[in-house]
């Protein structure tokens, strides 16, 4: 499958205070990954800035004015979220990278794109910055895809944190299926299994909260029993991935134990869904991931899964006895059975975890 990476070295110009986990060094990892894959023949293109009209599809006018007012200034927007002199422009490029990805993928079937961006976006609400995020990059892209006539979009978010902003922007929209696997209980405190959407969108929000300590095997259970069956029934025209890598075992913010090979398997499973239902249209967008070495390894593994021939997901075996995936799948299935046909599971949702 042809793959395009969308990236610019400008992403290093968004500065955060010393010691902040979402630091400019993350952009250096993105730079190195983009250069490495360019040398292997993968197309790498620079993004353009998102327009006001594109941002206003998901963010309020007052919020856009407030973020625009930070131009040239260092400001603290919430306990975790900061701007620097160039942050507004960099955030426009981050959202614009996803716009570019959408336009490229929708115009060319059997095409994938990966927007290697910072700051991340999935915590940004319609009228609020939070969780290191200024604009909700993937939501901006999904809204643009809908404006271009894309019928059904699936957003799959495997960041260790629940993507509260993305969920809230689309929870009443049956054309956008939001699926999140995330550590729970954890920041930002949203994403319970019984959050299934509202109004016409009821059933089109899928949350799979998973206990800390989960391993690759747990995620295989969750994807095979909940995520993949629902995606196959939804039949998306476009699959978008909030690709956060802070569920990696070495990440300083998360408490999960995934490997880079596990992220590759997740990505290949999602690519298979796209091949079967959406003519191979896949877009990934970076979110979290704060151990620099793990971030680079996960990016390489994910890009490899998106580039080249489609293969069956190769789920790694952790050797750890854990029933966290079984528990998470049972909890999610109980909330989602009214909306989707799911494999039966007899595993009790209240059983204690192994280890």
Question: Nearest 5°: phi and psi at 325?
Answer: -65, -40
* Token output for 239: 């699959």
Catalytic residue among 7, 88, 111, 123: 123
* Token output for 252: 């300083």
CB 70 within 8 A of CB 110: no
Active site residue 52: no
Alpha-carbon distances, residue 255 vs 26, 193, 316, 354 (angstroms): 20, 19, 19, 16
CA dihedral 14, 16, 21, 26 (to 10 degrees): 30
Alpha-carbon distances, residue 262 vs 75, 115, 164, 257, 268 (angstroms): 37, 20, 24, 10, 10
- C-alpha span between 332 and 195 (Å, rounded): 10
3-class SS of residue 202: coil
CB 278 within 8 A of CB 288: no
CB 104 within 8 A of CB 93: no
- C-alpha span between 153 and 178 (Å, rounded): 9
End-to-end CA, the chain = 41
- Residues acting as catalytic residues: 123
């Amino acid at each position: 499958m042809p793959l395009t990476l969308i990236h610019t070295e400008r992403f290093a110009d968004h500065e955060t205070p010393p010691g902040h986990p979402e630091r400019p060094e993350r952009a250096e990892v993105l730079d190195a990954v983009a250069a490495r894959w360019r040398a292997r023949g993968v197309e790498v293109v620079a993004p353009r800035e998102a327009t006001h009209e594109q941002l206003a599809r998901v963010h309020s006018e007052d919020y856009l004015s407030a973020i625009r007012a930070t131009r040239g200034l260092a400001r603290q927007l919430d306990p975790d979220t900061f701007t620097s002199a160039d942050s507004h422009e960099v955030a426009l490029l981050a959202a614009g990278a996803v716009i570019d990805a959408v336009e490229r993928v929708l115009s060319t079937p059997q095409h994938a794109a990966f927007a290697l961006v910072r700051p991340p976006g999935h915590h940004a609400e319609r009228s609020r910055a939070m969780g290191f995020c200024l604009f909700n990059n993937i939501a901006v892209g999904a809204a643009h895809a809908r404006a271009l006539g894309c019928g059904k979009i699936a957003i799959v978010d495997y960041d260790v944190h629940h993507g509260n902003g993305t969920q809230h922007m689309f929870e009443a929209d049956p054309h956008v299926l939001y699926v999140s696997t995330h550590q729970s209980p954890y920041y930002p405190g949203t994403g319970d299994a019984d959050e299934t959407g509202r109004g016409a969108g009821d059933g089109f929000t899928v949350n799979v909260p998973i206990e800390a300590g989960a391993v690759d095997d747990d995620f295989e259970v969750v994807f095979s029993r909940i995520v993949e069956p629902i995606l196959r029934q939804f039949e998306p025209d476009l699959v978008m991935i909030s690709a956060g890598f802070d569920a990696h075992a070495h990440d300083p913010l998360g408490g999960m134990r995934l490997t880079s090979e596990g992220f590759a398997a997740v990505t290949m499973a999602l690519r298979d869904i796209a091949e079967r239902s959406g003519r191979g249209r896949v877009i990934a967008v970076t979110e979290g991931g704060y151990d620099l070495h793990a971030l680079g390894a996960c990016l390489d593994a994910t890009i490899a899964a998106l580039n080249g021939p489609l293969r069956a997901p190769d789920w790694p075996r952790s050797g750890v006895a854990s029933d966290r995936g079984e528990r998470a799948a049972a909890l999610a299935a109980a909330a989602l059975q009214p909306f989707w046909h799911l494999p039966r599971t007899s595993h009790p949702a209240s059983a204690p975890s192994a280890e």
